[in-house]
Amino acid sequence: MAAEIGKVLNSSAARSEVLRRIRAANGGTAEGSQARQQWGEIQRDYRRSADLSRDQILDLLEDRLHDYDATVVRSKEAGIAATVAKLLAERERRKIVIPDGMNPAWLPEGFSFVVDTGLSSTELDTFEGVMTASTCAIALTGSILLQNVLGQGRRAISLIPDYHLCLVRVEDVFETVPEAFAHIDPSLTLPTTFFAGPSATADIEMTRIKGVHGPRFLDILLVE
């Protein structure tokens, strides 16, 4: 069985053949430095920088998030813990999973914050919510980006719990998608998740309905 699998899985013959076909189709072998140069010559006249003021950008982000049925609250750094407490109380959620590297000053008393130490999926499923920071946000699309770094954690923790409380620093909010990509380009190999609102589908008569998989409830805390 293993040998058979091994035989099937040795795809060097297929590899050679596919590459040969591509080269025949293109009339030759592509050359790396030429490809890179041509890539650099691709026309990019789309918007790549912000047009709006900082305030307008933040208002736009809030607007978009409201469109997606996410709650948005603003707070100064010093008031984070209190704001978190308020949000969690309103949502009636106590048992919250957090990633490694979460700033303890952000965690209010009276709730159960558990650091993810590689919890199993079933264990994660017992939490009422997750709280993370974020890498950045895009105002035009209402998107927030998470990467596997301290304070944001691995992908599963912001996926399995039904509620996500996400902190976004205002200085990490970009107006356009290209700005966000420029920001994360240095860390392009990290596991990255974009989310725009809670999970949704439009598969039933094209009505966007919330909450298939992934957190159905989303609170965003904008840190000023």
Partner 1 sequence: MSSAGSVLDPKTSPAFPIAARVTLEDTQLRKNVRHATEVIQNKRARVVGEMPDWQQLRESGSQIRQHTMANLDYYLEEFERNCTKAGGQVHWARDGEEAKRIVTSLVKASGSSEVIKIKSMTTEEIHLNLTLEAAQVHTYETDLAELIIQLGQDQPSHIVVPALHKNRQQIREIFQREMNLPELGEKPQDLADAARSFLREKFLRVKTAVSGANFLIAESGGVCIVESEGNGRMCLTLPETLITIAGIDKVLPRFQDLEVMLQLVPRSATGERMNPYNSIWTGIHPGDGPRNFHVVLMDNARSEVLADQEGRQTLNCIRCGACQNACPVYRQTGGHAYGSVYAGPIGAILTPQLQQLHHAQTLPYASSLCGACYEVCPVKINIPEVLIHLRNKVVKQKGALTAEALAMKTAGAIFRSERRFRAAQRLGRFAETPLVRRDGSGEGWIGWLPGLLGGWTQVRDLREMPKETFREWWEKRGNHGR
Residues 100-129 that bind partner 1 (CB under 8 A): 118, 121-122, 125
CA-based angle 162:63:196, to the nearest 5? Answer: 40
Choose among 61, 157, 30: nearest CA to 101: 157
Shortest Å distance, C-beta 153 to partner 1: 8
Among 15, 54, 59, 105, binds partner 1 (CB under 8 A): 15
Shortest Å distance, C-beta 76 to partner 1: 28
In terms of CB distance, is 51 or 109 closer to partner 1? 51
- The 18-57 contact track toward partner 1, x by CB under 8 A, reads xx-xxxxxx--xxxx--x--xx--xxxxxx----------
Among 140, 166, 168, 222, binds partner 1 (CB under 8 A): 140
- Taking CB under 8 A as the binding criterion, the range among 87-95, 129-137, 164-172, 197-205 that sits at the site for partner 1 is 197-205
In terms of CB distance, is 103 or 193 closer to partner 1? 193
In terms of CB distance, is 64 or 93 closer to partner 1? 64
Q: Is 13 helix (H, G, I), strand (E, B) or coil?
A: helix
Shortest Å distance, C-beta 105 to partner 1: 26
**H helices present in the chain, as ranges:** 2-9, 12-26, 32-40, 54-67, 80-91, 121-124, 177-184
Residue 97 bridge partners (DSSP): 114, 130
Shortest Å distance, C-beta 161 to partner 1: 12
Which residues have C-beta within 8 Å of that of residue 187, sequence separation ≥ 6? 147, 149
Q: Is 56 helix (H, G, I), strand (E, B) or coil?
A: helix
Taking CB under 8 A as the criterion, which residues in 60-99 touch partner 1? 64, 68
Tokens linked to 35: 């490809």
Looking at this protein, which amino acid is placed at residue 121?
S
- The 152-191 contact track toward partner 1, x by CB under 8 A, reads --xxx--xx----------------xx-xxx--x--xxxx
Among 69, 95, 114, 141, binds partner 1 (CB under 8 A): 141
User: Which strands make up the sheet holding 217-223, listed edge to edge?
Assistant: 71-75, 217-223, 163-169, 129-132, 95-98, 112-115
195 vs 12: CA distance, rounded Å: 38
In terms of CB distance, is 108 or 211 closer to partner 1? 211
Using CB under 8 A, count the residues that bind partner 1: 80
